[in-house]
């Protein structure tokens, strides 16, 4: 028997079917479709050979900006001979484009889902600005200050007697030096030539070699044609393929994210080990903070970043991890909604323990201006265990540091917008969109009484800024469009389909409900 189209039974059947359709639509739209999108993101972001993600991982498809600003000493004679506070002028930025490749990759263990590689950096000066790499700059002489700290009293006396032969020709024999930008940063300032030293000073030179062995920025070079040996100091040559020592960036083993999306890019081993041995002492109460190997190498991040989770990066330049905390979870970035912004906080270079001397970053490796041990943990950081030379790091213009460091320098004006670090990430794909890494290099200008003809008793003493650098990137439009095509357009289409499907199901359900109510109404009226 055929049921009338508006019979009570038919209306009930249609209502049940509409309810099931509506429930199925909700299940599909709010569970099924997101699951499909999540799986697509997993396929696009994991490190699988032959994919675009893999190619981008092996070679960053765009260059980063690497800018250096020097603190130029305007009154060198007054600083050395009259004890005047250095009149510092910040130079214009000297900018290089930095390309990054990952080489010699291998898959040691498929079961652990890892890939091992080392990185190579290539720098090219950007001539589009107003600066030139041949420009001469006058700065505090970090080599001389470091050498005087590294040597003991007898070594300092012997070194002072040969300073003309070892450093004179390179203009490195005074507390303040003038050098070209390109030599200071990458090409190197050459000193200590074996053909310029007599027998006595050759012995002193040979005594210096062990002191400089672990200094990252100094190399010993031998000319193939003449056999002459000399030293070369360059702030950042250790990042290039011209470096003669073992590159400090090391060998990375990271998770490929094929099985576990949340582990993508996270460092599993560095140089074959699972700990960082650089910092920490027997008296430290938080050695795990310094020793634990955590985070990524800063080039790749896992998808679906949680709002409450910081980003952790292991930085080989400073031999430690850095944490960035989320400060904005709904940033609009060049048409992308919901980007996450991460920043370091004011505790970046401050002690993590109640007693600073018990902090694992309190190395006491660099003497202060009074030749005493110092933790340098009130917004500064003793870099010697990593660099091998007594250098103090801080944020530019001593941002978030104790005011005592910058109070004498009128030109230093710490500004979070100009000197802080940050990172902007698209959270669903883990794509880094924009970032800035900034750090300042400082040296200890200190009198040495036994060699007063080099460091007079009238010389100013203090922690003096030498330069600050900024490593930055902003994703090019080309790759932003690629991200839009691969992810955002699909999400928009899925969202449109999702709500359209729910709307149709809701309309059917409402229509059947209306028919049922209408049927009941007329039934009661007829009765």
CA dist., res. 278 & res. 290, Å (int): 8
Does residue 371 fall inside a structural domain?
A: yes
Closest CA to 452 of 148, 140, 87: 148
| Same domain flag for 355 and 504 | no
| Same domain flag for 104 and 232 | yes
Share of the chain above pLDDT 90, in %: 76
φ, ψ dihedrals at 220, nearest 5°? -100, 125
pLDDT value for 483: 79
Does residue 51 fall inside a structural domain?
A: no
Residue 157 has pLDDT above 70, yes or no: yes
Residue 498 has pLDDT above 60, yes or no: no
**CA distances for 293 relative to 109, 311, 438, 471, 472, angstroms:** 19, 14, 22, 23, 24
CA dist., res. 215 & res. 145, Å (int): 13
Does residue 443 fall inside a structural domain?
A: yes
Token couple for 205? 């030179």
Does residue 3 fall inside a structural domain?
A: no
Judge contact between 75 and 84, C-beta under 8 A: yes
| Same domain flag for 355 and 209 | yes
**Ordered DSSP codes for 292-311:** B--SB-SS---SS--TT--E
CA dist., res. 66 & res. 471, Å (int): 5
* 351-383 per-position pLDDT tens digit: 999 999 999 999 999 999 999 999 999 999 999
pLDDT value for 41: 79
pLDDT value for 482: 81
φ, ψ dihedrals at 256, nearest 5°? -85, -10
CA dist., res. 61 & res. 44, Å (int): 16
Q: Please tell me the least confidently modeled range out of 42-46, 464-468, 479-483, 516-520.
A: 516-520
Q: In which band, very low, low, confident or very high, does the pLDDT at 188 lie, cut at 50, 70 and 90?
A: very high
pLDDT value for 514: 66
Helix/strand/coil (H, E, C) string of 443-458? EEECCCHHHCCCCCCC
Query: Higher model confidence: residue 286 or residue 526?
Result: 286
* 438-483 per-position pLDDT tens digit: 999 999 999 998 899 999 999 999 999 999 999 999 999 988 888 7
Judge contact between 374 and 127, C-beta under 8 A: no
Residue 3 has pLDDT above 50, yes or no: no
Domain interval for residue 405: 63-475
Q: In which band, very low, low, confident or very high, does the pLDDT at 24 lie, cut at 50, 70 and 90?
A: low
Q: In which band, very low, low, confident or very high, does the pLDDT at 500 lie, cut at 50, 70 and 90?
A: low
3-state class (DSSP) for residue 160 = helix
Q: Which of 454, 475, 496 is the last residue of a domain?
A: 475
Residue 16 has pLDDT above 60, yes or no: yes
φ, ψ dihedrals at 445, nearest 5°? -90, 115
Q: Which of 437, 452, 475 is the last residue of a domain?
A: 475
Residue 510 has pLDDT above 80, yes or no: no
Query: Higher model confidence: residue 502 or residue 181?
Result: 181
Q: In which band, very low, low, confident or very high, does the pLDDT at 141 lie, cut at 50, 70 and 90?
A: very high
Average pLDDT over residues 4-23: 63
- Give the angle 325-388-240 at the CA atoms, nearest 5°: 75
| Same domain flag for 430 and 338 | yes
Residue 280 has pLDDT above 70, yes or no: yes
Average pLDDT, the chain: 89
CA dist., res. 303 & res. 34, Å (int): 14
| Same domain flag for 218 and 321 | yes
Q: Which residues of 130-144 are buried (b: 16+ CB within 10 A; e: fewer)?
A: ebebeeebbbbbbbb
| Same domain flag for 263 and 362 | yes
Closest CA to 323 of 391, 469, 423: 423
pLDDT value for 484: 74
pLDDT value for 481: 84
**Ordered DSSP codes for 120-145:** EEEEEE-TTSS--TT-EEEEE-HHHH
Judge contact between 119 and 249, C-beta under 8 A: yes
pLDDT value for 176: 97
Judge contact between 192 and 150, C-beta under 8 A: no
> Using CA of residue 230, residue 235, residue 241, residue 243, what is the dihedral sign?
positive
| Same domain flag for 35 and 118 | no
Q: Which residues of 41-72 are buried (b: 16+ CB within 10 A; e: fewer)?
A: bbebbbbeeeeebeebbbebeebbbbbbbbbb
| Same domain flag for 292 and 388 | yes
| Same domain flag for 406 and 463 | yes
What is the number of other CB atoms lying within 10 angstroms of the CB of residue 294? 13
Closest CA to 322 of 421, 425, 465: 421
CB-based burial label for 172 (10 Å; 0-12, 13-18, 19+): buried
| Same domain flag for 500 and 366 | no
Does residue 77 fall inside a structural domain?
A: yes
Average pLDDT over residues 138-143: 96
Does residue 52 fall inside a structural domain?
A: no
| Same domain flag for 38 and 127 | no
pLDDT value for 34: 67
Does residue 54 fall inside a structural domain?
A: no
pLDDT value for 38: 75
* 73-100 per-position pLDDT tens digit: 999 999 999 999 999 999 999 999 999 9
| Same domain flag for 237 and 331 | yes
pTM, two decimal places: 0.88
Residue 309 has pLDDT above 80, yes or no: yes
Residue 108 has pLDDT above 70, yes or no: yes
pLDDT value for 44: 84
Give how many domains the chain has, as a whole number: 2
What is the number of other CB atoms lying within 10 angstroms of the CB of residue 240? 15
Does residue 219 fall inside a structural domain?
A: yes
């Amino acid at each position: 028997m055929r049921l009338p189209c508006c019979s009570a039974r038919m209306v009930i059947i249609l209502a049940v079917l509409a309810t099931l359709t509506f429930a199925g639509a909700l299940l599909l739209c709010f569970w099924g479709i997101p699951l499909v999108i999540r799986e697509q993101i997993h396929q696009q972001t994991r490190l699988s050979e032959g994919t675009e993600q893999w190619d981008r991982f092996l070679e960053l498809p765009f260059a980063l900006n690497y800018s250096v600003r020097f603190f130029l000493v305007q009154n060198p004679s007054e600083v050395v001979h009259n004890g005047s506070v250095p009149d510092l002028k910040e130079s214009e930025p000297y900018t290089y484009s930095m390309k990054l490749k990952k080489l010699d990759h291998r898959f040691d263990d498929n079961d652990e889902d890892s890939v091992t590689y080392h990185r190579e950096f290539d720098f090219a000066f950007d001539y589009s600005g107003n600066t030139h790499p041949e420009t001469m700059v006058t700065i505090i002489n970090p080599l001389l200050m470091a050498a005087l700290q590294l040597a003991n009293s007898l070594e300092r006396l012997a070194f002072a007697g040969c300073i003309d032969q070892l450093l004179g020709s390179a203009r490195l024999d005074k507390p303040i030096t003038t050098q070209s930008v390109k030599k200071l940063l990458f090409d190197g300032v050459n000193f200590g030539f074996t053909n310029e030293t007599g027998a006595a000073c050759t012995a002193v030179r040979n005594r210096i070699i062990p002191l400089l062995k672990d200094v990252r920025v100094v190399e010993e070079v031998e000319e193939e044609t003449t056999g002459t040996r000399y030293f070369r100091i360059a702030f950042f040559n250790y990042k290039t393929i011209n470096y003669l020592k073992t590159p400090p960036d090391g060998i990375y083993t990271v998770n490929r994210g094929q099985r576990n999306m949340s582990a993508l890019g996270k460092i599993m081993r560095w140089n074959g080990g699972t700990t960082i041995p650089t910092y920490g002492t027997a008296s430290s109460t938080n050695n795990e903070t310094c020793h634990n190997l955590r985070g990524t190498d800063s080039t790749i991040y896992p998808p679906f970043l949680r709002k409450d989770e910081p980003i952790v990066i292991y930085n080989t330049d400073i031999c430690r991890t850095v944490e960035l905390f989320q400060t904005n979870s709904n940033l609009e970035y060049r048409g992308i909604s919901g980007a996450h912004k991460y920043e370091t906080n004011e505790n970046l270079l401050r002690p993590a323990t109640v007693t600073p001397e018990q902090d694992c970053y309190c190395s006491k490796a660099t003497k202060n201006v009074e030749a005493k041990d110092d933790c340098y943990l009130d917004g500064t950081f003793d870099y010697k265990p990593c660099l091998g030379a007594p250098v103090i790091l801080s944020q530019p213009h001593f941002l978030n540091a104790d005011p005592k460091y910058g109070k004498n320098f009128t030109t230093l004006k710490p500004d979070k917008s100009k000197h802080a670090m940050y990172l902007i990430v698209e959270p669903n794909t883990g794509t880094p969109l924009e970032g800035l890494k900034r750090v300042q290099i400082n040296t200890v200008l200190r009198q040495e009484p036994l060699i007063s003809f080099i460091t007079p008793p009238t010389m100013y003493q203090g922690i003096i800024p030498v330069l600050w650098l900024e490593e930055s990137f902003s994703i090019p439009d080309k790759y932003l469009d690629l991200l839009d095509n691969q992810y955002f357009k699909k999400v928009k289409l899925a969202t449109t389909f999702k709500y359209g499907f729910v709307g149709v199901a809701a309309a059917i359900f409402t229509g059947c409900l209306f028919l049922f109510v209408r049927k009941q109404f007329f039934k009661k009226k007829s009765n």
